[in-house]
Amino acid sequence: MTTLDLSRIKAITLDLDDTLWPIWPTITRAEHALAAWLAERAPGAAAVFADKEARLAVREHVVQNYPHFGHDLSAIRRESIRTALQRAQEDTSLAEPAFEVFFAERMRVELFDDVLPALAALSARFPLVAVSNGNAHVSRVGLGQFFTHSLSASDFGIAKPDARIFHAAADKVGVPAAHVLHVGDDAALDVLGALGAGMQTVWVNREAHAWSHTEQQPHHVVANLTELAALLA
């Protein structure tokens, strides 16, 4: 493992989904809320979102037929709802309010227990920038006070592990990439991506997975953000 140089760290970029909260319980709950809302207004479309295979098939259709959406997960979700409504010959004007039902629930995350104390400690010492391939907003999930900036692939149009999104995050706080520490759970998207952008990295490995990318290593590994805050104290 590469040694972490604490003296170089002037800012921290943080992943969101599965680093600050578990994503799949959140998405599952949002899917159920969407299906329940549609069931009262568009039962044909509701049946699509209640069935995993049908839901994924519609999403794949949208991804293939609307490549200009790129990494905009919100646009993909909206069009998936509209497509399901259209196929069921139901009112496509319901797509936008249905999306808002999904999105509101998607923002209702359940933080890991270590997150709030760690963010309070880290943000007191470093500017924090959220960098996510998802479409969560730190302000809407109740964490806006800890972050100087937030950068999502949906808004930026480029996703991790592309170095450009990491460099854009560093630019937000006026710090060279070499002086930024990126923290995230995904070995490829977060660790390898940030290493490729010239950043130091900490891998948040909550499930004690084995590291499989032998050609490169994170600078440090933590099991939670409590360990990260202690490391940087």
pLDDT in tens, 143-202: 999 999 999 998 898 999 999 999 999 999 999 999 999 999 999 999 999 999 999 999
Shared domain check, 162 and 102: no
pTM of the model: 0.92
pLDDT, tens digit, 9 for 90 and up, residues 174-189: 999 999 999 999 999 9
Of 194, 143, 147, whose CA–CA distance to 168 is shortest?
194
Q: What is the CATH number of the domain that holds 156?
A: 3.40.50.1000
Domain containing residue 154: 6-21+110-232
Q: CA quadruple 68, 71, 72, 76: dihedral positive or negative?
A: positive
Which of these three, 58, 87, 106, is where a domain ends?
106
User: Greatest CA separation found in the chain?
Assistant: 61
83 pLDDT more than 60: yes
Q: How many domains does the chain have?
A: 2
pLDDT the model gives residue 214:
86
| Tokens (6 digits) for 205 | 């490995």
Shared domain check, 204 and 118: yes
Shared domain check, 184 and 136: yes
Shared domain check, 30 and 16: no
1 pLDDT more than 80: no
Q: At what angle do helices 43-50 and 23-39 cross, to 10 degrees?
A: 160
Shared domain check, 212 and 131: yes
Shared domain check, 176 and 153: yes
> How does the average pLDDT of the chain come out, rounded?
95
Q: Is residue 205 part of a domain?
A: yes
Shared domain check, 137 and 211: yes
Q: Counting Cβ atoms within 10 Å, is residue 68 exposed (0-12), middle (13-18) or buried (19+)?
A: exposed
Residue with structure tokens 């809407």? 140
Q: Compute the average pLDDT of residues 72-88.
A: 95
How far apart CA 93 and CA 86 sit, in angstroms, is 10
List, in order, residues 6 or more apart from 62 with CB less than 8 Å away: 69, 76, 79, 80, 83
Q: Compute the average pLDDT of residues 76-95.
A: 97
8 pLDDT more than 80: yes
Q: Is 21 helix (H, G, I), strand (E, B) or coil?
A: strand
2 pLDDT more than 70: no
Shared domain check, 10 and 31: no
Please state, in angstroms and as integers, the Cα–Cα distance from residue 215 to each residue in 139, 192, 218, 220, following that order. 37, 10, 11, 15
Shared domain check, 100 and 132: no
